A = this chain, B = another copy of it.
Amino acid sequence: MNIVEQMRLFMEPRSVALVGLTRSTGLGGWNVLEYLLGYGYKGKIFPVNPSAENILGVQCYRSVAEIPENVDLAVILTPAHKVKQLVTECTAKGIKALAVVAQGMADGDSTGAKLQQEIVRLAHVGGARVIGPNTFGVGNAFVRFNSAFTFMDMHEIPLGVICQTGLFMSGLPDFPMVGKGIDLGNMSDIDFSDGLQYFEDDPNIKVIFLYIEGMKDGKRFMQVARRVSRKKPIIAIKGGRSEVAAEATMSHSGSLAGTDATYDAAFKQCGVLRVSGTEDFQDLGRAFLNLPLMKGRNVGIITITGGGGILAAEALARHNLRLANLSTDSLSRLHDLAPKWHRFNNPADIWPPTMIAGNPLWEVLNTTIDTFLRDDNVDGLFVIMPGIPSEAIGFYSPLLGPFRNISNFDKPAVLWCYGTEAIDTASLFEREGRILYYPTMDRAANVLSRLNDYYKIQERDND
């Protein structure tokens, strides 16, 4: 069985045994079966509990051996001390995929670490592979399956997560993350490379997120990641970066400092985009799914506030982007709209051409957006607009039109809005054209920067 077939047993199980399933239900019951029934999982479910006849109306089995059919995946839900015996029972039944939930193995003390080793050894002897321990297991919104013992808000979005904490299975306010998720937990066996290979040619997955605390076989990871990153963006957080976090992960700070630089170099070499904040997953996920890549680092700023244009230029500089030098054609198109004294350039402050020169605001916006999009010196757009109170939406609605043009060009556009009505207004603009709103200028600039980083990663691999 190759690794993709193996991973399919975990990720797309036709049948699952819930070994050691609790009889408790409702909130605080942490009952996987209850959630599975709620999600609408269509595979077969075999609860295993020696002291229950049925749980939530589903027939129970006293042991794994008694299950009358083939089982793709066993989710082992018991405390750590019972796991060894159950792994043997599962492999004896011919189960090839085991998700072990229990905490207190390598994440605990040396006794736990030894137990973990033994579990993996037994699984391998029996021809099975292990995800975990210390894990939510796996989730797949496309087949409505999730082995987590807490409710997961799954949506069929083309994002694959491979992580070492359940946090990243749970999504973020503006962005439900799973998609498909693999929580490697202590990563005793199945690791990042395995997950990457599963996602590599998965038509449901377009962007891959990694949350990495440690790595087992760095060489293999780099080989696989380098191959996969030419097909799909891989975005990674490496936990345990700083000295202070090293204490939290129980690592030696001295060795970690070296390790961190190694990760940095390795990620660069294999085309993995390293980020530091959870919001980067949210921001870049939306960007890679909705915007074209950026072919260079020259950005055009279109703003209705001069001060905003300056702040945006600084945000770009912080992300190693440049203000585009407009072509002479572009400059002359803009100058036709502006008052004589106004340096209508980049950043393009669209207010004086309106308020002073008397051109309709929508026309100035339209011409400016069109000029920037047509200019080969401009690789992407950063637009700043005011939030518009709902009672004035009708008056301002001509401003929506110019945004439609953006979708006709192969350039990414990001939006920042100010004022207390910013978010509602931003969603109006987002609906008109292929532009994404970000709540801070730095997050908007970061997105453009990363869209170019990944463009270069793809170019590199096409050499």
Binding site for B on A (CB under 8 A): 27-28, 30, 79, 103-104, 107-109, 111-112, 151, 153, 163-168, 170-173, 175-176, 211, 213, 237, 239-245, 247-253, 276-279, 305-311, 313-318, 322-323, 339-343, 345, 347, 349, 351-352, 355-356, 386-387, 389, 392, 394-396, 417-423, 439-442
Instruction: Choose among A176, A340, A341, A356 the residue with the greatest number of B CB atoms under 10 Å from its CB.
Output: A341
Q: Are B317 and A440 in contact (CB under 8 A)?
A: no
- Could you say how many copies of this chain the assembly holds? 2
| In the bound complex, CA of A107 to CA of B351 (Å) | 13
| In the bound complex, CA of A318 to CA of B308 (Å) | 26
Question: What residue of chain B has the Cβ atom nearest to residue A321's Cβ?
Answer: B244
Q: Are B418 and A172 in contact (CB under 8 A)?
A: yes
Q: Are B317 and A356 in contact (CB under 8 A)?
A: no
| In the bound complex, CA of A159 to CA of B338 (Å) | 35
Q: Are B392 and A27 in contact (CB under 8 A)?
A: yes
A266 to chain B, nearest CB (A): 18
Given the complex, which residues of B lie within 8 Å of A318, measured CB to CB?
242, 276
Q: Are B108 and A313 in contact (CB under 8 A)?
A: no
Q: Are A277 and B423 in contact (CB under 8 A)?
A: no
Q: A279-B439, A279-B440, A307-B163 are in contact. Are A28 and B395 (CB under 8 A)?
A: yes
Given the complex, which residues of B lie within 8 Å of A277, measured CB to CB?
311, 315, 440-442
What 10 A-B pairs are tightest by C-beta distance, nearest first? Answer: A165-B307, A108-B341, A27-B395, A242-B317, A252-B306, A245-B313, A109-B341, A251-B343, A170-B419, A239-B310
Given the complex, which residues of B lie within 8 Å of A421, measured CB to CB?
153
Q: Are A108 and B339 in contact (CB under 8 A)?
A: yes
Given the complex, which residues of B lie within 8 Å of A418, measured CB to CB?
167, 170-172, 278
A102 to chain B, nearest CB (A): 9
Given the complex, which residues of B lie within 8 Å of A165, measured CB to CB?
305-308, 310
Question: What residue of chain B has the Cβ atom nearest to residue A166's Cβ?
Answer: B305
Q: Are A311 and B278 in contact (CB under 8 A)?
A: yes
Given the complex, which residues of B lie within 8 Å of A243, measured CB to CB?
317
| In the bound complex, CA of A309 to CA of B237 (Å) | 14
Question: What residue of chain B has the Cβ atom nearest to residue A396's Cβ?
Answer: B27
Q: Are B213 and A422 in contact (CB under 8 A)?
A: no
Q: Are A172 and B419 in contact (CB under 8 A)?
A: yes
| In the bound complex, CA of A112 to CA of B315 (Å) | 30
Partner of A244, one of B107, B173, B322, B356: B322
| In the bound complex, CA of A59 to CA of B111 (Å) | 88
Partner of A314, one of B245, B305, B442: B245
Question: What residue of chain B has the Cβ atom nearest to residue A339's Cβ?
Answer: B104
Q: Are A244 and B314 in contact (CB under 8 A)?
A: yes
Q: Are B173 and A314 in contact (CB under 8 A)?
A: no
Q: Are B317 and A389 in contact (CB under 8 A)?
A: no
Partner of A307, one of B168, B173, B341, B386: B168
Instruction: Choose among A168, A172, A386 the residue with the greatest number of B CB atoms under 10 Å from its CB.
Output: A172
Partner of A310, one of B111, B248, B342, B386: B248
Q: Are A313 and B104 in contact (CB under 8 A)?
A: no
Given the complex, which residues of B lie within 8 Å of A104, measured CB to CB?
339, 341-342, 352, 356
Question: What residue of chain B has the Cβ atom nearest to residue A243's Cβ?
Answer: B317
| In the bound complex, CA of A245 to CA of B343 (Å) | 14
A370 to chain B, nearest CB (A): 22
| In the bound complex, CA of A153 to CA of B389 (Å) | 9
Given the complex, which residues of B lie within 8 Å of A151, measured CB to CB?
389, 392
Q: A166-B305, A309-B248, A439-B173 are in contact. Are A352 and B242 (CB under 8 A)?
A: no
A365 to chain B, nearest CB (A): 14
Q: A27-B395, A108-B341, A418-B172 are in contact. Are A79 and B356 (CB under 8 A)?
A: yes
| In the bound complex, CA of A417 to CA of B417 (Å) | 24
Question: What residue of chain B has the Cβ atom nearest to residue A240's Cβ?
Answer: B310
Given the complex, which residues of B lie within 8 Å of A307, measured CB to CB?
163-168, 211, 213, 239, 252-253
Question: What residue of chain B has the Cβ atom nearest to residue A417's Cβ?
Answer: B173
Q: A341-B109, A343-B251 are in contact. Are A172 and B311 (CB under 8 A)?
A: no
